[in-house]
Each structure stands twice: as structure tokens, then as C-alpha cells.
Amino acid sequence: MLLQPVILSGGSGTRLWPLSREAYPKQFLPLTSVYTMLQETVRRLDGLDQEHPRRGIGLVDPLVVCNESHRFLVAEQFRLMGRTPGAIILEPKGRNTAPALTVAALAAVRDGLDPVLLVMPADHLIRHEPAFRTAVADGFSLAEQGAVVTFGIVPDKPEVGYGYIRRGDRFDPPHLMEPLAGSAYRLNAFVEKPEVATAEGYLASGEYLWNSGLFVLKASLWLSLIERFRPDIAQAAAHAYTEGRQTGQFFSLAPAAFAVCPSDSIDYAVMERLAGEGASEGPPAVVIPLEVGWSDVGAWSTLWEVSEQDAAGNVLDGDAFVHDANNNLLIARHRMVALVGVDDLIVVETPDAVLVVKKDRAQDVKAVTQFLEHEGRHEFRHHQRVHRPWGAYESIGQGGRYQVKRLSVKPGESLSLQMHHHRAEHWVVVSGTARVTCGDKTFLITENQSTYIPVGSTHRLENPGTIPLEIIEVQSGSYLGEDDIVRFEDVYARDSKDAG
């Protein structure tokens, strides 16, 4: 039977601001290795079918469900790994995990198949990947027989930031092709985030596990359960999927239909109704305990915990120096940063923002992001370096009627054919070769050459070469916003809300 990974990549990761931002959240960042968290999620299944040949696992390319604005980031992550996703499903608006899984299940059964779905968030850390693959193989065997499987993390401390799962009696299904490598239990209940004393009791009892957000079940079973328990979600998601459209490697859900879909999580919509007494009225709900070095890397303090520390307990990343300082996390991405005589701090430096917070107050970073969002500040959504499907740009200077940007265009890529109502542009090639369209003329310019794009002129910038094209762009005019764009042609099928 096929195993279809479903990667849910809709999170914004704002608790890891300023590295993680709305337009470039934590799943696209290399926080714990040279690979990004999304890439790690894809890679950790490598070898699953070979390691457990008797399970009959047919591992296929993953489906990714993501925010529409992140589509090119997801595609680029796969390209850099030399891999191809099974599909990239685009949500016009976030509606939580239950609708996301529903549209993924609809995609999985589209060709008359009924694979087992492995549902994984895109932004979790798992240190012990062979042990994780073994647990997934156990979950696959149970799901083949009609069980709904989740994974519970064996707690090592009384954590108040996670929801919990209470396990019930041992679950021993008959007629397995191969015995389970680990243990499985009836899912007794889901429990909300507790107070400290309650969490300490959970830890002492040995009956409680952290809720991981990982699930395994057949696609058809999920569709029947969501129809049974939340027909409003099932119908809205089906409508959005049926009315959706394929554009290249992207599948876009119908915006109007998905906008009216209720928002709910997999846990609330279905899993809680199967737990405990509800289990007798539906398929068996099972939890498999996991001890795999798991973390959701949900705050800066968590990143400090899972990162390699020096003898004084410091985690240093970038041009960083500490003296007589202990148990700090210091990330310096743009300039040299030094800490002297301080303990238990988180300091994160980026080109346009610096965060300083006590480690035990790391969850309060949300107060910063709420302020930035309320004030409409660009630091909430974008980094100084903004990624586009053709490359990236960053602002390096601006004033009342001018802005200077550095553009990097990947080999073989091009910006859209476009026009601006309010600004003129002057392009200077720093390195590489540019093919420029301006009005009815197309010509090449190379290093140290420049050209001028008048206000209202139709223009395009392309990189016909084999090395990145670096351009300094000087904009001048009465309005320099990214939304001053009329797009005529675009190889990426974007509309005017996608600038560049």
C-alpha cells in the first residue's frame, strides 16, 4: 500500500521573530542543521521503505499544503534538494489543520487511490530519525487495518506549553504481517495545556504524552470522519478543491469557496471525538509513544535547549563573542555582536531588527509581533532581503523620493513584463549580464553598464547567463511602494499583488 506524506506548511512562526517573519517563516530557515526545517521534514523519511521491507510500504512524493504567498519558497526548497513534490496545494487563507488535511486527502484519492496518509507539520525537529521511521512503519501497519494513529512524545519535563494525550490500555491488533517494533495504546483523551502542578502530575503518572500533531490514517477514512463530525468543513473544502485550478506545479484552491470554510484543528474536529468513550462508535484511535528527540522549536528558549552549547552553556551563531557570560543564545547575522557579563539572554540580530529578551520570557516575543502587525510595520512581514521566484532584492537606502535596492536574478530567470505609474528606475549591472526590455527595444548590458527606465515605460529584466545577475536599482518618484506595478506577462503566473 502507498504511504503518502502530507506536509502542513501553513505556520507563520512569529515566536521566532526576527529570523522568522510572516513572508518567510521558520519552516524555510536552517535553524538546527544546514537544511531548512521543511527540507528536514522531507528528508527524514528517506530509507523508510528499505528499512522495513516486510511492511509493504510504497513511499511516494509528499503533498505540501501551504499559504499561497509561500508557493515559490516551497518550490525552491524542493529544487535545492533535487526533488519533486507530489503536489503543492495553495491555501488562499489559513483555515487550520482540519481543512488542510481534507484538501490533501481529496488530492490523494483523486486518481482512484486510497493511500495511508502520514500528516506532518513542516517545522518540527526530530533528532533520532531511524527511530522515527520505525514508529511510522508501526503506524502504517495499524492504519492499513483501519486505525487512526497519532504519536505522543514521551515527556522529559513538566512542560506547560504543550497539549497532552492520555493513553489508555495496550492496543494489540491481530493479523499484522510483522509485529510492531514498539508499543501502541488506546487513545484515552486529549488534554489542554496544563498548569505547572498539573504538568508535574502528568509526568509522574507516566500516562500522559505531549501532543505531537503527527497522524497516520487512510485518506478515505479521514474523508469519512470529517464528513461525519464536521460536514460543514467537508463540504466547503470539497467545493474549494473541485473549483480549484492547476497552474504548473501548483494547485490553487478556489478562494471564495475556501474563505467560507470553518477553521478547526484535526484534534478538535475529529480526534477528540474518537478518544475514550467515542472509540466504540468509530475506528480505533491509537497513540504510539515517541522518544525521538522531538521538538516543535516553538520559541527561542527551545532553540537554545536543542542546540549545541559551549562549556558555559552559550549557543553562538554568526560573528558572535561572549565574555564572562553563561547560558545565552546569541545569533548575529549581519554584524559583530558581543555579550559581556550577562546570563540567560536571547539576542538575535538581523539587518533591520534586534531582539533582546530574557530566556524565561521567550514566549512574550508575540508582544513584539503584535505591535508590528498593528502598526503596519514592514518588519512584521518581510526581512530586509525579500525573496522572489526569480531571485531576491534588498533595500540598501531610501529617502523621501528615492530608494536604492540590490537585485539578484538567478540564471535563466526573469522579472515580469511590467510598468510603473509613479516611479522611474535606473539599473546598474554589478556582475553578470542583463537582457533589458524597455518599450519596443531589447538589448544586453554587462558589468559597469547601466540603463534608464522612464516612468510609464513597459520593461522587463532577464538573466540570460549562467551566473547570478547582480543589479543596483535606483528608484525615484512620488510613490515607491511595491504595489505600484501593472503586470503584462509573467512566467510565474502571478498577479499584481505579487510584486517584482
Residues 6+ apart with CB under 8 A from 260: 236
Instruction: Give the right CATH number for 385-489 from 3.40.50.300, 3.30.300.30, 2.60.120.10, 3.30.70.2190.
Output: 2.60.120.10
The 3-class SS string of 250-280 reads EEECCHHHHHCCCCCCHHHHHHHHHCHHHHH
d(CA 185, CA 166): 10
Walking along the chain (500 residues) 10 residues at a time, the average pLDDT comes out as: 96 91 95 96 96 94 96 94 96 96 97 96 96 97 96 94 94 84 94 93 95 97 97 98 94 96 96 75 91 95 96 97 98 96 98 96 95 94 92 91 96 96 96 97 97 97 97 95 91 69
* pLDDT for the residue numbered 494: 81
pTM: 0.91
- Ranges in the chain annotated CATH 3.90.550.10: 2-295
Nearest-5° Cα angle at 286, 284 to 287: 170
Cβ partners under 8 Å of residue 43, min gap 6: 35, 81
Query: What pLDDT score was predicted for residue 248?
Result: 86
User: Residue 246: beta bridge partners?
Assistant: 251
Confidence (pLDDT) at 411: 97
The answer to whether the CB of 211 falls within 8 A of the CB of 265 is no
Please say whether the beta carbons of 60 and 4 come within 8 A: yes
DSSP-assigned beta bridge partners for residue 150 = 215, 287
In the prediction, which pLDDT does 200 show? Answer: 94
CA atoms within 13 A on the CB side of 166: 15
CA atoms within 13 A on the CB side of 330: 24
Cell numbers for 70, please give them: 509561500
Cα separations in angstroms, 111 against 80, 226, 244, 485: 28, 20, 16, 40
225 to each of 182, 221, 228, 266, 290, how far by Cα in Å?
27, 6, 5, 11, 25
What does the pLDDT read at residue 175?
A: 78
Alpha-carbon distance 324 to 322, whole Å? 7
Give start-end residues of each CATH 2.60.120.10 domain in the chain: 385-489
Which residue blocks in 46-184 are alpha helix, DSSP H? 48-51, 71-81, 97-108, 129-144
In this prediction, residue 282 carries a pLDDT of: 76
The confidence score (pLDDT) of residue 168 equals 94
Classify each residue of 424-453 as buried b or exposed e, where b means 16 or more C-beta atoms within 10 Å of its C-beta: ebebbbeebbbbbbbeeeeeebeeeeebeb
Contact between 455 and 423 under an 8 Å Cβ cutoff? The reply is yes
pLDDT at 279: 56
* SS3 label, residue 310: coil
Considering the domain 2-295 in this protein, what is its CATH number?
Answer: 3.90.550.10
pLDDT confidence of residue 330: 98
**How many whole angstroms separate alpha carbon 297 and alpha carbon 300?**
7
